[in-house]
Amino acid sequence: MGLVSQDALNQLQALMDQVLLEEEPLQRTFQNVHQGCVTETLTRFLKAREWNATKAHKMIVDCLKWRVQNEIDNILSKPIIPTDLYRGIRDSQLIGLSGYSREGLPVFAIGVGLSTFDKASVHYYVQSHIQINEYRDRVILPSASKKHERPITTCVKILDMTGLKLSALNQIKLLTIISSIDDLNYPEKTNTYYIVNAPYIFSACWKVVKPLLQERTRRKVQVLQGCGRDELLKIMDYASLPHFCRREGSGSSRHSGNGNENCYSLDHPFHQQLYNYIKEKSRIHEAVEPIKQGSFHVDFPEPPAEKAEIVKTLESELHKFKISNVNGD
């Protein structure tokens, strides 16, 4: 770490020590955020604010207040019930843990093109997304850190664009909410984004969005040829490849393979472990407070200015495609 970076870290640590000493609720929720990796956590927020300690401090405090106000520390004791509703969410919000890289980083697969988000309300999808984030940060990453005897605080994401269509325009609002929550409260948690099975519509959109991204974000994105299998095998074993990367043209079908192979499925070991973990936590919590029916409502943040510009550009590009298709160009 360079001298400037170390100075910024020391400055941020001093600012945080003062705040946490004065506000116990923030101190409690900060423990759930850092999971014993305080330096790594402060570094993530500093990166997100270009190593400006004052801005990083404000970002962390805002994040901790959001957590307290929205009871994020309790979200892993709030199951989405009944099970059929949760299964519908898993079938329409395609995400799962397919394995680990050789460095020990969790590999999350996301079916961008085939996620329909049409089986439940926005609040349920946001709840599910935050639960996966929290399970990753409180269970998956600490477990990986323990196994490898070093802090592991980030993951790898493989984004499958199979099936990406103009209808993605209808999902931009929800995806903006989810990505804004991540940007503001879970910054710098992804080491690399691998894009696979990218159709022409993605390539055209990426061309106009890429210049709007910050340099550190652009460096994280790698667009791979086809299903990306050969490139991905350089960083992970075959068993950790998502099902849609195991052979060319396999796609990210919600129903491809059995539950043990398809990491999106509720029957996959990752989702079974997650769902059972939440149910167990809810049983403990229920002894104190009865479980309420309905979704867990979270305040939706305003997207940062940079993201708002990206969304506007993306919508404009997708509208051009729509008009072009109607005119038969």
For the stretch 197-221, pLDDT in tens is 999 888 888 888 888 888 899 999 9
Domain segments of the chain: what residues? Answer: 3-70, 76-249+258-278
Task: Compute the distance between CA of residue 319 and CA of residue 324 in angstroms, rounded to an integer.
Answer: 8
CB burial of 277-310 (b: ≥16 within 10 Å; e: otherwise) equals bbeebbeebeeeeeeeeebbebebeebeeebeeb
Q: Under CATH, which architecture does the 76-249+258-278 domain have?
A: 3-Layer(aba) Sandwich (3.40)
- Cβ neighbours of residue 278 closer than 8 Å, sequence gap 6 or more: 76, 77, 78, 79, 131, 135
Short-list 304, 111, 302, 307, CA closest to 209 = 307
The per-residue pLDDT of the chain, averaged, comes to 90
Q: Is a pLDDT exceeding 60 seen at residue 6?
A: yes
User: How many CA within 13 A on the CB side of residue 87?
Assistant: 6
- What does the pLDDT read at residue 102? 98
The arithmetic mean of pLDDT across residues 8-19, rounded, is: 96
For the stretch 63-121, pLDDT in tens is 999 999 999 999 999 999 999 999 999 999 999 999 999 999 999 999 999 999 999 99
Short-list 49, 174, 152, 53, CA closest to 107 = 152
Q: Which range is least confidently modeled, 33-47, 48-62, 130-144, 253-267? A: 253-267
Q: Is a pLDDT exceeding 60 seen at residue 257?
A: no
Cα dihedral angle (219, 309, 68, 86), rounded to 10 degrees?
-80
Task: Compute the distance between CA of residue 248 and CA of residue 163 in angstroms, rounded to an integer.
Answer: 15
- What does the pLDDT read at residue 248? 62
For the stretch 125-158, pLDDT in tens is 999 999 999 999 999 999 999 999 999 999 999 9
The arithmetic mean of pLDDT across residues 17-44, rounded, is: 96
Write out the CATH class of domain 3-70: mainly alpha
Rounded to two decimals, the pTM is: 0.92
| Residue 222 and residue 89 in contact, taking contact as beta carbons nearer than 8 Å | no
The arithmetic mean of pLDDT across residues 166-188, rounded, is: 89
Q: Is a pLDDT exceeding 70 seen at residue 292?
A: no
- What does the pLDDT read at residue 104? 98
